[in-house]
Amino acid sequence: MVFNFLKGQFIDVIEWLDDSRDTLVYRFERYGNNIMMGAKLTVREGQTAVFIHEGQMADVFGPGLYELETNNMPLMTALQHWDHGFNSPFKSEIYFINTRRFPGLKWGTQNPIMLRDPEFGALRLRAFGSYTIRVTDPGKFMTEIVGTDGEFTEDEISGQIRNIVVQKVSQSLAASGIPALDMAANTGDLSKIVADAIAPTLGDYGLSIPELYIENISLPPEVEKVLDQRSSMGIVGDLNKYTQFSAAQAMQTAASAGGDSAMGAGMGMGMGMGMANAMANAMGGAGQSAQQPAAAAPPPPPPPPAAPQFHLAVNGQTTGPFSTAQLQQMMAQGQFNRDSMVWTQGMAGWAKAGDVQALASVFAAMPPPPPPAG
């Protein structure tokens, strides 16, 4: 700031030199609460000056050098009811708003994002990145966010914006339908989708988000471990050939460790012969398999189907589930019969037990009701 005083009483030059790098709004401290008509106002590039008179927003000045007069302060003139030239001091609060970009702000998902992945099913993901904010409507920003804060920094708004970003990222990732393994190749498109979704909300604050980056989308550690195992299996390929290759490497390493001694030489010769035999057998087996492929082992039989479990409706209450064996015991105790209402997974609704085909075996040993006495 530069303070020049006219006759030791009034401000003559009004300007703000920002050296903080994180201040969005700075209230210019007035000397004696008076501003001299005709004072010089300097607004630098990346700044906007806003005059507040008795709690009301008055004139807004963009970058440039101004001499404060009634002709370039129309709103202040109207609020003060200046009908003619005015040269006396007046009272007004002056706020300088930083309109440059504030880059490098961080965001991240504190809790995992739940989504349904087309390949892995239900899945939890975490994501983090960075974004940039900028004041695009100084008047709206002063009204909606700053108020009377004399020095407003990016820390005071970044938390709220971070919450909005995380919310939109969660919604966008869950609704994208992109497989988790393909998201890394689509972070650019996802970033644009999130930025477009955030724009209307930030616009209400007088802000914009020129840049937003999704830097990383990660799986839970336990899922990453399983995925690494799956990738390793794909890289290994034929397990038998991999075992032979590993054995050959081990023999060569052991032979090299013997040095120039006779024992080392003998070990090297023995292991070399063993390796040659192993390779010959492998090549012979490969040739034989090329002429007559080995019969594949028959697949194991599928597991038996799970027995259905039935729910009973008794006096307006649902009980169960019960197996068919339990229903047979209940039938013997008089707690279950053909007219009992039952339901199991796959049925459209409740039905009498005697009409359910899956319960036919339960009533097979039960005689029908006796004929009426006659």
Same domain, 92 and 139: no
Tell me 39's DSSP state: E
282 falls within a domain: no
Most confidently modeled range among 1-10, 185-194, 281-290, 294-303: 185-194
Same domain, 146 and 158: yes
Q: Which residue has the higher pLDDT, 164 or 236?
A: 164
Does residue 274 form part of some domain? no
Question: Residue 21's CB: how many other CB atoms inside 10 A?
Answer: 10
Confidence of residue 64 (pLDDT cuts 50, 70, 90): very high
Query: Which residue has better confidence, 27 or 83?
Result: 27
Question: Is the same domain home to 112 and 83?
Answer: no
- Residue 266, phi then psi, degrees to nearest 5: -65, -40
Q: Is residue 244 part of a domain?
A: no
Task: Work out the pLDDT band at 2, boundaries 50, 70, 90.
Answer: very low
128 and 164 co-located in one domain: yes
Residue 283 domain-assigned? no
Note the pLDDT of residue 290. 47
Residue 148 dihedral angles phi and psi, to the nearest 5° = -110, 20
CA distance 49 to 44: 9
Q: Are residues 140 and 91 part of one domain?
A: no
What CATH number has the domain bearing residue 339? 3.30.1490.40
Q: 54 and 123 share a domain?
A: no
**Pairing assessment for the beta strands 341-343 and 310-314 based on DSSP bridges:** antiparallel
Does the residue 261 lie in any domain? no
Q: Is 257 helix (H, G, I), strand (E, B) or coil?
A: helix
> Per the confidence metrics, is the pTM higher than 0.85?
no
List phi, psi (to 5°) of 154. Answer: -65, -25
Among 98, 115, 147, residue at a domain's last position: 98
Q: How would you class 189 by CB atoms within 10 Å of its CB: exposed for 0-12, middle for 13-18, buried for 19 or more?
A: middle
Query: Within a 13 Å sphere around the CA of 119, how many CA atoms are in the beta-carbon half?
Result: 8
* 123 and 92 co-located in one domain: no
> Percentage of the chain surpassing pLDDT 70?
73
Beta bridge partners of 48: 97
Q: Are 312 and 340 in contact (CB under 8 A)?
A: yes
Same domain, 36 and 65: yes
Task: Give pLDDT tens digits for 10-32.
Answer: 457 888 888 888 889 998 876 65
146 vs 271, residue with greater confidence: 146
Contact 41, 34 (CB under 8 A): no
What pLDDT, on the 0 to 100 scale, is given for residue 317? 83
Find how far residue 321's CA is from the centre of its chain. Answer: 39
Give me Rg for the CA atoms of the chain.
Answer: 40
373 part of a folded domain: no
Q: Are residues 113 and 200 in the same domain?
A: yes
Give the chain's domain count.
3
**CA distance linking residue 100 with residue 323, whole number of Å:** 71
Q: Bridge-partner residues for 53, per DSSP?
A: 56
My answer on whether 51 and 121 are in the same domain is: no
Which tokens hold the place of 204?
Answer: 């209400």
Indicate whether 215 and 109 sit together in one domain. yes
Kindly state whether residue 266 falls inside one of the protein's structural domains: no
Reading the block at residue 144, the tokens are 């909606």
* Boundaries of domain holding 117: 102-219
Q: What is the pLDDT of residues 191-220, one digit of tens each?
A: 998 899 899 999 999 999 999 999 988 887
CA-to-CA distance for 127 and 125, rounded, in angstroms? Answer: 7
Examine the pLDDT at 48 and tell me if it is beyond 80.
yes
Question: From CA 271, how far away is CA 154, in angstroms rounded?
Answer: 70
Q: CA torsion angle for 251, 254, 256, 257 (degrees, to 10)? A: 180
Retrieve residue 355's tokens: 């009409």
- The span from the CA of 55 to the CA of 148, in Å, is 9
Here the CATH number for the domain that contains residue 188 is 3.30.479.30
43: nearest Cα among 94, 87, 86: 94
Query: Which of 219, 234, 263 represents a domain boundary (last residue)?
Result: 219
Domain termination residue (choose one: 98, 126, 146): 98
Residue for token digits 């009301």?
56
The terminus-to-terminus CA distance of the chain in angstroms comes to 116
More confident site: 34 or 162: 162
Same structural domain, 55 and 141? no
Q: Is residue 279 part of a domain?
A: no
Q: How far is CA 347 from CA 210, 313, 355, 363, 364, in A?
A: 55, 14, 12, 19, 22
